[in-house]
Amino acid sequence: MSAQAADGRASGRTVVVTGGASGIGRAIAEAFRQNGDRVAVLDRADAPDVIRVDVADEESVRRAFSAVREQFGTVDVLVNSAGLLTEAPVEEMDLALWNETISVDLTGVFLCSREVLRPMRAQGWGRIINVASQLGIKGGVGLGHYSAAKAGVIGFTKALALEVAADNVLANAIAPGPIETPLVDGISEEWKKAKRAELPLGRFGTPAEVAPAAVLLASDPGGNLFVGQTLGPNSGDVMP
Ligand SMILES: NC(=O)c1ccc[n+]([C@@H]2O[C@H](COP(=O)([O-])OP(=O)(O)OC[C@H]3O[C@@H](n4cnc5c(N)ncnc54)[C@H](O)[C@@H]3O)[C@@H](O)[C@H]2O)c1
């Protein structure tokens, strides 16, 4: 049962963070813990206190959310942060790489969101926060699959928001710019240097600078009027 603070559901809630074992998801999980919420971390990686899941696999997602319901009860806030990034120019991209990215980065968001909708609508309160990417808005060379998946997340978020807003279930997206996490470790220093130079802030962000956007979207009353929007903590790269 969720705690009802005087000004709304502000803390003491059950929050699920997919991809919460690393990077942006880990910082978001930590920020919700500090806010006084109970946090369930779902991830493919084996880490302490993680409920294992492959977000691209329907059965795995069912099992993981069933474990969450047993241990934590109804999910009040879902943050979909699990994702992967690979690079290939479109003319060299094989279908397996395309499908892997779409399955994890887009289908995973759909599968996990579907798990929480009925109970959120039944209790008349819920927040779904999808971590997209600014590349879903502006595209990126060698990232046709990733850009398509993230544009899909932004479109899915808007459609979902329209479907469930009347039951006070609010879906929104966060589209970060380049953030220092293991996801971008593999990218060459040369590319990173050039990228930094074109950012209005002149630097990449950190996961701790993204996490408060998720806390804001989940806050009550602070997040109450955001419906299907895309927030852009991105060092000024695009202005969504
Ligand atoms: N780092 C950036 O510059 C950046 C920018 C924009 C958007 N993003 C997005 O932010 C999200 C988090 O990325 P990050 O930078 O923190 O990367 P990260 O690699 O640090 O974290 C991603 C997490 O997702 C998990 N994961 C991957 N595939 C999974 C699967 N199939 N099932 C379950 N868990 C899975 C990984 O194990 C990992 O813990 C991703 O959706 C990413 O696309 C990142």
Cα separation, 11 vs 36, whole angstroms: 5
Q: What's the domain range around 116? A: 14-231
78, 79, 137, 181: residue to mutate for ligand 1 pocket, most atoms within 8 A of CB: 181
Residue 237 is assigned to a structural domain of this protein:
no
Residue 113 is assigned to a structural domain of this protein:
yes
Task: Match 């929050």 to its residue by tokens.
Answer: 15
Residue 126 is assigned to a structural domain of this protein:
yes
Looking at residue 8, its pLDDT comes to: 73
Peptide bond into 221 cis (omega under 30): yes
Say how many C-beta atoms besides its own lie within 10 A of residue 6's C-beta. 5
- 116: domain CATH number? 3.40.50.720
Residue nearest (by alpha carbon) to ligand 1 atom 31: 54
Site residues for ligand 1, CB cut-off 6 Å: 18-19, 21-25, 43-45, 53-56, 81-85, 104, 131, 133, 176, 178-179, 181-184
Tens-binned pLDDT, residue by residue, of the chain (240 aa): 444 444 578 889 999 999 999 999 999 999 999 999 999 999 999 999 999 999 999 999 999 999 999 999 999 999 999 999 999 999 999 999 999 999 999 999 999 999 999 999 999 999 999 999 999 999 999 999 999 999 999 999 999 999 999 999 999 999 999 999 999 988 888 889 999 999 999 999 999 999 999 999 999 999 999 999 999 999 999 998
Residue 45 is assigned to a structural domain of this protein:
yes
Residue at 123: amino acid letter:
Q
Burial 199-211 (b: 16+ CB within 10 A, else e): beeeebbebebbb
**Ramachandran assignment for 72, one of left (phi > 0), alpha (psi -120 to 50 degrees), beta (any other):** alpha
Residue 6 is assigned to a structural domain of this protein:
no
Residue 210 CA, chain-centre distance (Å), reads 11
Cα separation, 205 vs 27, whole angstroms: 12
Looking at residue 2, its pLDDT comes to: 47
Residue 76 is assigned to a structural domain of this protein:
yes
Domain count for the chain, please give it.
1
Looking at residue 185, its pLDDT comes to: 87
Residue 236 is assigned to a structural domain of this protein:
no
Residue 95 is assigned to a structural domain of this protein:
yes
